[in-house]
Structure 1
Amino acid sequence: MPVRNFLRKIDLTHPDKLDTLVENRRVFNLENCELNVFECYQQTYRLPLTFNDFVITSMVRGKKIMHLFDKPEFAYLPGESVIIPANETMVIDFPEATTETPSQCIALAVDGSYINNTLQYLNTYYNTEEKNSGNDWKLQFNQYHFANDTEIADLINKLIRVCSSADTAKNIFADLSLKELLIRLVQSQHLLQIESESAANTNHSRLHYVLHYIHDNLTDKISVDVLSRKAYLSRNMFFKWFKEQFGITPLEYINRERIKLAKQLLADNNNSITDVGLQCGFTDVNYFVRLFKKTEGITPGTYQHSFKS
């Protein structure tokens, strides 16, 4: 999983005010969402938890083991988030929780009509040919567990601060941040969908065509001018269109995919760092090393060394 951006620590509940040692809950209600802060102070296993609304959860401290969607269990750690549809039951283990090392997690439950209105806004104002080809904006759950990027962490931190404040205008501020958070999540899901479809159907839309072209030429120099011509857009319009659809720039996407390829190549200890960088389309090895460390939190050499043991 890529480098995780941690949330700011939230003060733990004073021991005298704890209602329970297992998933003690503090609730902050706003017009369109509900912020829950959960804390667990003792080892617990197979605890079920269900929300009536779509929920965005994010770990602050400690560790959980999540059982979700009838998929294999996974460790849930600080710097990571999980999104869950309404009425989906999570089954949670707390293998390390104690009074000295409690787990703490936030759960942001969002009203369904609010989500629908946000998606309708995206489909009305940020869909061109994609709307006619059946690729409406929608929340999906093919990537429900992910590391927080900088934007996601900043937005969740802001929502925690706003929701728990006494500001009389907090519903307004929460609305702005919540909309941006939902849009970034939908953009991430939209990108995954287009990626999965582009390999099999390159001409389904120009989104599919552009992503397919990037992957076909990932090890070569990829010019943004060429990409914009492939999309039949001016350079400036291409940047704007790509960022609106996916939430990242074309260069950020290309670099992200090159780092994914680099990780595959680094698993073979016979490949040198220089060769891997060149094979992934980086002409400057120093830039490759800096970008890899920024993305993964460690250098390519450290990453490759982990495979030796």
Structure 2
Amino acid sequence: MYGNQIHSAMINQSLVQNREKPPRQLVENRTSYAGRDAVFSVYDTYQEASRVELKSDSPMYCGMISGKKVIHSGDETPFEFVPSESLVLPPDSTIYIDFPDAKLNQPTKCITVELPLERIDEIVARMNDRMPRTKTSGEWEYDASASVHFSNTESVDLLIRKLFHIFTEEHNQKDLLVEMNTAELIVHMLQTESRNLLLKNYRKHVTQSGLASAVEFIKNNLDRPISINKLADIACMSKASFYRYFNNEFGISPVEYINRERVKKACKLLRNKDLNVTDVSFKLGYSSLSHFIKLFKEHTGTTPKQYQLKKQAG
């Protein structure tokens, strides 16, 4: 997501400007800022390292700013963690981290926000009261047993930048600002967790959930035009209700979700050496090649051709 990459660069610049002291240690050098309801930390690693332990006693939000990490979590397949991505760790969890690219002049940088479980429970209750889910989706709840890894929206990147400034600078209403912005972060976390769960198990919910049925239709029809009216009909909702519940459940609009799914599928297709960019654009139902290229670059920060050459070379 190109916009997100710009915001990550701005966050990184702010971090550098606010932290001029030499590091106390070269691996996971930590600087923390405590608030009433949260602890904000910045981690810098200046040399390559492997299997570095990170423990989380309370729920922890992690956001990558620069460099790359490889995360080892339980029995899961190790995965890369890069800028404009987030990772939410459940309480009482431990992960191990590799730093393959860290250098003294190009540190791998990450921020974390530790959140009391009671604070999350409070926000969950408010969400169920003020922004209830559809009847078939059940109530909002926080899964304290699972980690969640996701790509940031522009609003999440902006929120992290705001939190950084609130924690590291003096404000007359610091506690109030921390409370407001951590509440927004928790909402994003819960919406992402809900989205990941529904998308992972959408086939199980198709007969019960209108939103799951709409998701299934989107996944099966990425190669053709998809109208919101059609999706609303499938979900058995009015167009206005469908927009509201979809945004409420996923934190993004139906159109943005469709665009993301098409870009994800395009990334897979571009790995095929027998397909060129025009072929991929056609397979995804785009009538305009230039529109496809523009959309792809907005979401990935690179053109389809550049992406294809990089992946095929690797």
One fold, TM greater than 0.5? yes
The answer for the alignment partner of 2:125 in structure 1 is 120
- Which whole-Å deviations, capped at 9, do the CAs of 1:32-52 have from their partners, x for residues lacking one? 111112233455443322132
Query: Offset at 1:91?
Result: 2.2
Contact 1:258 1:281 in 2 (8 A): no
Gaps of 5+ in 2: none
- The one of 280, 288, 292 aligned to 2:296: 292
CA distance in 1: counterparts of 2:126 and 2:293, whole angstroms: 40
Contact 1:43 1:98 in 2 (8 A): yes
Q: How does 1:2-21 map to 2 (within 5 A)?
A: 5=5, 6=8, 8-9=11-12, 10-11=15-16, 12-15=19-22, 18-21=23-26
Alpha-carbon spacing, 1:98–1:306, altered in 2? closer, same or farther (3 Å)? closer
Question: Which stretch of the first structure deviates more once superposed, 53-62 or 106-115?
Answer: 53-62
The answer for the alignment partner of 1:166 in structure 2 is 170
Question: Which stretch of the first structure deviates more once superposed, 90-99 or 178-187?
Answer: 90-99
Q: Is it true that 1:275 corresponds to 2:282 in the alignment?
A: no
CA distance in 2: counterparts of 1:41 and 1:196, whole angstroms: 36
Q: Is it true that 1:85 corresponds to 2:90 in the alignment?
A: yes
Q: Which residue identity lines up with residue 297 of structure 1 in the other structure?
A: G
Q: How much identity, in percent, do the aligned residues show?
A: 28
Q: Is it true that 1:27 corresponds to 2:19 in the alignment?
A: no
Alpha-carbon spacing, 1:64–1:193, altered in 2? closer, same or farther (3 Å)? closer
Q: Which residue identity lines up with residue 171 of structure 1 in the other structure?
A: D
Q: Is it true that 1:245 corresponds to 2:245 in the alignment?
A: no
Contact 2:30 2:42 in 1 (8 A): yes
Contact 1:269 1:307 in 2 (8 A): no
Contact 1:218 1:280 in 2 (8 A): yes
CA distance in 1: counterparts of 2:221 and 2:83, whole angstroms: 36
Query: Offset at 1:284?
Result: 2.0
- The one of 220, 224, 229 aligned to 2:224: 220
Q: Which residue identity lines up with residue 14 of structure 1 in the other structure?
A: K
Q: Which residue identity lines up with residue 40 of structure 2 in the other structure?
A: L
What secondary structure sits across from 2:287 in the alignment? coil
- Which whole-Å deviations, capped at 9, do the CAs of 1:162-219 have from their partners, x for residues lacking one? 0112112011112222112221222122122212222244112111111122223322
Alpha-carbon spacing, 1:111–1:188, altered in 2? closer, same or farther (3 Å)? same
- Which whole-Å deviations, capped at 9, do the CAs of 1:103-149 have from their partners, x for residues lacking one? 3322110111011111122223322443x554634347766333333
Gaps of 5+ in 1: none
Contact 1:122 1:137 in 2 (8 A): no
CA distance in 2: counterparts of 1:40 and 1:296, whole angstroms: 25
- Which whole-Å deviations, capped at 9, do the CAs of 1:248-278 have from their partners, x for residues lacking one? 1111111111222222322223334333223
Contact 1:57 1:108 in 2 (8 A): yes
Contact 1:142 1:189 in 2 (8 A): no
What is the RMSD of the two structures over their aligned residues, measured on CA atoms? Answer: 2.6
Q: Which residue identity lines up with residue 56 of structure 1 in the other structure?
A: Y
- The one of 171, 194, 198 aligned to 2:202: 198
What secondary structure sits across from 2:41 in the alignment? strand
Contact 1:81 1:147 in 2 (8 A): yes
What secondary structure sits across from 1:298 in the alignment? coil
- The one of 264, 271, 275 aligned to 2:268: 264
| Count of equivalent residues | 305
CA distance in 1: counterparts of 2:190 and 2:290, whole angstroms: 34
Contact 1:140 1:189 in 2 (8 A): no
CA distance in 1: counterparts of 2:114 and 2:143, whole angstroms: 14
Contact 1:265 1:276 in 2 (8 A): yes
What secondary structure sits across from 2:56 in the alignment? coil
The answer for the alignment partner of 2:76 in structure 1 is 71
Alpha-carbon spacing, 1:140–1:272, altered in 2? closer, same or farther (3 Å)? farther
- The one of 152, 156, 164 aligned to 1:148: 152
CA distance in 2: counterparts of 1:283 and 1:304, whole angstroms: 20
Q: Which residue identity lines up with residue 39 of structure 1 in the other structure?
A: D
What secondary structure sits across from 2:231 in the alignment? helix
Q: Is it true that 1:39 corresponds to 2:44 in the alignment?
A: yes
